[in-house]
């Protein structure tokens, strides 16, 4: 087989895999790790594998991969298959360039600049800037890094002095990456203060104000507040407008973590959830979640130009940044050197679907989540664990018998997952386990949600019956 024939055979397998997304296929062929190790035999030998083995490797990898394009993959904050973005991603691999300079990435540099300008126009950052980076966690890190360098510019050169006592404030249900960021920046994860949220999961502005005042009284120096635009478990949007008034009064950096829910800004119907976003200093937005762009695709936007360059020390970089083209080398404002091209796949998808297509996809996601919520509310054995805020529906099954609800619901989830029928996630609200269904696939239909609940209820009922029989026996 020559290289061309091998490539054609590989593409045929890829096409078959894509086709299966549309069919009723198991979402995973689940194997216990020991059994998968036996089947896959991932060890690499010294001898070349050969073509037959190469094609078998493709089959096996695809066979045991979780089918995140399947409509029963309701587990993560991303799902679905995005054809134009997939093509864009393939082209990126094919041309294999790096985002640091115009010299090696001319088209990608212009595309990234265009995408950042477009995203900034939705954020209302008229003088904004931004950079694609390796995910929301790193976006949160660079935002905190920028805030630290604004308040303590010398820390860029001399390090962070602990006696400065910097403290940051986040929603008590914020993503864990803020603590990682504080850890990495030398501020310390204990100096990320968790602000109380209401039963709907939104940060309570008055609690924030009180926390800031208490910190100042304790000799600490507040410098950074993060609002979350769709919290990871409940999908709650913090009230940006009200919080922006507080951060303005205290002169604090206001960051919006829209890693999960930032894409809602494209919906005319629902963008009010992010009212006040233009008052923030920075905003992380992950197209790899609700816009179904293949991982990773994430941008950190900043309201003020120059902020990102300022973060990077003025190193001697003349071996890479030659400044020979009349265009900015984007690498100068990134904390990475080699950087994957992530803007191109977004560009392909955004052009293909248009703003209108994406607005419809966002509206559809909310409609599907509402449908799931209504299904829970209508069923006597299903209990909604918290009012739905956006794309996440948190619920559990209540069997007739008095049994441990956490163990029971976890067992239902695990049985569904291992059977390959559906994958849905779970988390904890205090000590109570909640099943979390996320509508993240822009092409979901009501019948897909109905299919999930049919399988979930069948599984729950069969487990319930089994437990009653065991008890009676």
Ligand X SMILES: Cc1ncc(COP(=O)(O)O)c(C=O)c1O
Binding interface with ligand X (CB under 6 A): 77, 135-137, 175, 177, 228, 231-232, 257, 259-260, 286, 298
- DSSP per-residue codes, 83-122: HHHHHHHHHHHHH---TT-TTT-HHHHHHHHHHHHHHHHH
Q: Assess contact for 226 and 140: CB atoms under 8 A.
A: yes
Please give the residue whose beta carbon sits closest to ligand X in the complex. Answer: 136
Q: Could you tell me the smallest distance in angstroms from the CB atom of residue 203 to ligand X?
A: 13
CB nearer to ligand X: give 142 or 372. Answer: 142
Q: Could you tell me the smallest distance in angstroms from the CB atom of residue 323 to ligand X?
A: 32
Q: Could you tell me the smallest distance in angstroms from the CB atom of residue 61 to ligand X?
A: 23
CB nearer to ligand X: give 77 or 265. Answer: 77
CB nearer to ligand X: give 97 or 228. Answer: 228
The Cα 400–Cα 120 span in angstroms is: 52
The Cα 155–Cα 144 span in angstroms is: 13
By C-alpha distance, which of 63, 84, 78, 17 is closest to 444?
78
Q: Please give the C-alpha separations between residue 465 and each of 278, 399, 415, 456, 471, in angstroms, as whole numbers.
A: 54, 10, 15, 14, 10
CB nearer to ligand X: give 177 or 375. Answer: 177
Q: Could you tell me the smallest distance in angstroms from the CB atom of residue 244 to ligand X?
A: 19
The total of other beta-carbon atoms located within 10 Å of residue 365's CB is 24
CB nearer to ligand X: give 110 or 429. Answer: 429
Q: Could you tell me the smallest distance in angstroms from the CB atom of residue 138 to ligand X?
A: 7
CB nearer to ligand X: give 69 or 262. Answer: 262
CB nearer to ligand X: give 137 or 155. Answer: 137
Pair of tokens at residue 299: 């941008």
Q: Could you tell me the smallest distance in angstroms from the CB atom of residue 288 to ligand X?
A: 7
Helices (H), strands (E): how many in the chain? Answer: 14, 12
Q: Could you tell me the smallest distance in angstroms from the CB atom of residue 343 to ligand X?
A: 16
CB nearer to ligand X: give 128 or 262. Answer: 262
Q: Could you tell me the smallest distance in angstroms from the CB atom of residue 136 to ligand X?
A: 3
Burial (0-12, 13-18, 19+ Cβ within 10 Å), 344: buried
The Cα 299–Cα 182 span in angstroms is: 20
- DSSP per-residue codes, 44-78: PPSS---HHHHHHHHHHHHHHS--TTSTTEESSS-
With tokens 């919290």, the residue in question is: 231
The Cα 349–Cα 293 span in angstroms is: 8
- Interstrand relation of 221-228 and 253-258 (parallel, antiparallel or unpaired): parallel
CB nearer to ligand X: give 174 or 215. Answer: 174
Q: Could you tell me the smallest distance in angstroms from the CB atom of residue 77 to ligand X?
A: 5
Pair of tokens at residue 267: 């919906």
């Amino acid at each position: 087989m020559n290289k061309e024939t091998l490539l054609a055979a590989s593409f045929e397998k890829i096409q078959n895999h894509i086709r299966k997304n549309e069919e009723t296929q198991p979402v995973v062929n689940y194997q216990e790790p020991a059994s998968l190790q036996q089947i896959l035999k991932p060890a690499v030998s010294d001898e070349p594998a050969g073509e037959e083995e190469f094609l078998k490797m493709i089959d096996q990898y695809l066979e045991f991969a979780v089918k995140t394009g399947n409509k029963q993959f309701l587990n993560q904050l991303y799902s679905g298959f995005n054809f134009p973005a997939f093509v864009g991603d393939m082209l990126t691999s094919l041309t294999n360039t790096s985002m640091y300079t115009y010299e090696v990435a001319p088209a990608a540099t212009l595309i990234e600049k265009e995408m950042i300008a477009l995203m900034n126009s939705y954020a209302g950052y008229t003088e904004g800037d931004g950079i694609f980076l390796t995910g929301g966690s790193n976006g949160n890190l660079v935002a905190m890094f920028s805030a630290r360098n604004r308040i303590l510019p010398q820390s860029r050169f001399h390090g962070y002095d602990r006696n400065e006592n910097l403290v940051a404030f986040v929603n008590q249900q914020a993503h864990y990456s803020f603590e990682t960021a504080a850890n990495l920046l030398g501020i310390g994860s204990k100096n990320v203060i968790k602000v109380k949220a209401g039963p709907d999961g939104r940060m309570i502005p008055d609690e924030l104000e009180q926390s800031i005042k208490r910190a100042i009284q304790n000799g600490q120096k507040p410098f950074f507040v993060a609002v979350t635009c769709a919290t990871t478990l409940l999908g709650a949007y913090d009230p940006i407008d009200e919080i922006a008034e507080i951060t303005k009064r205290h002169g604090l950096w206001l960051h919006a973590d829209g890693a999960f829910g930032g894409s809602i800004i494209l919906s005319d119907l629902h963008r009010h959830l992010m009212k006040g976003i233009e008052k923030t200093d920075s905003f992380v937005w992950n197209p790899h979640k609700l816009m179904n762009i293949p991982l990773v695709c994430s941008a950190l936007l900043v309201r003020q130009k120059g902020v990102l360059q300022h973060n990077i020390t003025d190193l001697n970089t003349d071996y890479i940044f030659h400044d020979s083209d009349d265009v900015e080398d984007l690498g100068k404002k990134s904390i990475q050197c080699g950087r994957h091209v992530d803007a191109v796949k977004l560009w392909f998808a955004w052009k293909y679907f248009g703003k209108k297509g994406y607005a419809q996809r966002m509206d559809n996601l909310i409609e599907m989540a509402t449908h799931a919520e209504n299904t829970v509310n209508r069923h006597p054995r299903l209990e909604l664990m918290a009012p739905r805020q956006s794309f996440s529906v948190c619920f559990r099954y209540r069997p007739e018998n008095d049994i441990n609800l956490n163990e029971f619901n976890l067992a239902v989830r695990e049985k569904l997952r291992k059977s390959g029928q559906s994958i849905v996630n779970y988390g904890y609200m205090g000590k109570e386990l909640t099943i979390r269904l996320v509508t993240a696939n822009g092409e979901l239909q009501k019948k897909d949600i109905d299919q999930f609940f049919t399988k979930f209820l069948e599984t729950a009922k069969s487990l319930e019956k089994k437990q009653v029989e065991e008890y009676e026996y």
